């Protein structure tokens, strides 16, 4: 099973709201990712967690705050977002050996976020 | 950093024809090249991938070829079917331990019956 689940599927929030996106996988993967995808564009990497530690932050604004509470869960906390942050937010996971690179990344269905 | 170019941006074929999508990458350190299919309203689905120590890989109607010297790789779909219609993204690994993927801009494939 290569399933990554994300909740909620859709989210509408105002610019002053605080909300969280959730991602879960039970494949034993130790690398988890957040991507942002605008319409008709490719996914853009935001964050990478490796063994529950943040390993890559692609200069993402602080209004996006990731959290990896355990090896199966990944959260993205949202605060004071702008309308241009409206997008599909994708979570992915991959097997992460202690040494050597990660390979196959499996994506969830995404959360469609609209900021009003 | 890594840059991935993908062509064509749109591709229309008749059912049963073959489709080819090409990508080039810039970082010679990249060693992993996956292809994703994304249908409307869904997340990207990994359909095939290739590592830099392999020149070609095939899975039923789908094949991927890699030319490391020229830094390009291609997706080949044979006997296309309407359900192959989707956006296809190529990607290349980059960054620390190859954990990050840089995506091409995507190809919208339309298969008409």
What distance lies between CA A53 and its chain's CA centroid?
14
Mutation for A interface: B99, B104, B107, most A CBs within 10 A? B99
End-to-end Cα separation, chain B, in angstroms: 41
* DSSP bridge partners of A77: A20, A65
Tokens read off for A59? 């200069």
Q: In this model, does residue B98 exceed pLDDT 70?
A: no
Residue A4 to chain B, least CA–CA distance (Å): 10
H/E element holding B5?
strand B4-7
- Which residues of A touch chain B, with CB atoms under 8 Å apart? 2, 4, 31, 40-45, 48, 50, 55-56, 90, 94, 96, 100-110
pLDDT exceeding 90 applies to what percent of chain B?
82
Binned at pLDDT 50, 70 and 90, residue B46 comes out as very high
Inter-chain touch A106–B104, beta carbons under 8 Å: no
Q: What SS3 class is residue B44? A: coil
Span A7-44, pLDDT tens digits: 999 999 999 999 999 999 999 999 999 999 999 999 99
């Amino acid at each position: 099973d290569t399933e990554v689940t994300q909740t909620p599927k859709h989210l509408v929030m105002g610019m002053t709201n605080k909300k969280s996106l959730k991602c879960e996988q039970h494949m034993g993967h130790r690398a988890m990712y957040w991507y942002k995808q605008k319409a008709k564009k490719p996914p853009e990497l935001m964050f990478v967690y490796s063994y529950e530690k943040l390993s890559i932050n692609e200069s993402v604004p602080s209004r996006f705050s990731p959290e990896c509470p355990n090896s199966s869960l990944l959260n993205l906390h949202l605060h004071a977002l702008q309308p241009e942050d409206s997008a599909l937010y994708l979570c992915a996971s991959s097997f992460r050996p202690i040494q050597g690179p990660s390979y196959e990344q499996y994506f969830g269905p995404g959360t469609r976020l609209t900021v009003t | 950093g890594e840059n991935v170019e993908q062509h064509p941006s749109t591709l229309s074929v008749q059912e049963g024809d073959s489709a080819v999508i090409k990508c080039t990458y810039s970082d010679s350190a990249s060693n992993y090249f996956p292809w994703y299919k994304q249908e409307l309203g869904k997340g990207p689905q990994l359909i095939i991938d290739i590592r830099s120590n392999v020149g070609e890989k095939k899975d039923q109607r789908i094949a991927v070829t890699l030319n490391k010297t020229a830094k390009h790789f291609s997706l080949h779909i044979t006997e296309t079917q309407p359900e192959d219609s989707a956006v296809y993204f190529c990607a290349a690994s980059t960054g620390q331990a190859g954990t990050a993927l840089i995506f091409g801009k995507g190809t919208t494939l339309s298969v008409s019956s």
